[in-house]
Every structure is written in C-alpha cells, then in structure tokens.
Amino acid sequence: MLSLIVNGTRIAVVTFWVAFVLSLISVIPGPYSSYIIWLGGLVLLIHLAEYFYVKTRFAGMDLGEINFVKTMLFGFTHWLPLIIDEREDQS
C-alpha cells in the first residue's frame, strides 16, 4: 500500500515540476503561471529544509545515499522508502 502511495505521489510531483517549468517559459497563461511559480518556490524551500532535516535526523542510519537532487525533486518519496527499508533490515 505504501508503495502505491509513494508512486502516485511521485507521478503528481513530476507533473507539478513539468507545470512549473512550463510556467517559467511562459507556456501556461496568466494568473495560473504566477501561482505555480510561487508554489514551486515554496516547495523548493520546503524540500531544502526537508533534506537538511533528514540528513541530520537519520545521520546514524546506513541509508545508502540520500541524494540532494532526488530529495529536491521528489521530497519524502525519495527518502521515506530508504528509511523504512533500513528499519525493516534492523528488525
């Protein structure tokens, strides 16, 4: 079930980033473009904070590579499965 939620969220996030890029190059018209750009900036700031939080909070766990770019693009859908897999391996 978690896999379905993570994959669905990844699809939604990729769709949002495509809309963000289209807004930046003025393909999406009018007021929608500015809303998407502001929301994209906010999401980038949240993902940046999320990256630093995960790196410090789970520093002791062997999570492999919590990639900066993947965290900035996908957020929790990148690092959450890594943490769950690591906890299952420890038990």
**Interval 21-35: pLDDT, tens:** 999 998 988 889 999
pLDDT at 62: 64
pLDDT at 78: 82
pLDDT digits (tens, 9 = 90+) for 36-72: 999 999 999 999 998 888 888 877 766 667 778 888 8
Q: How many Cβ atoms from other residues are within 10 Å of residue 47's Cβ? A: 19
Within 13 A of 83's CA, how many CA atoms are on the CB side? 13
Sign of the alpha-carbon torsion through 47, 68, 91, 4: positive
pTM metric for this prediction: 0.78
pLDDT at 64: 63
Decide if pLDDT at 75 tops 70. yes
Q: Please give the radius of gyration of the chain, using alpha carbons only, rounded to the nearest integer.
A: 15
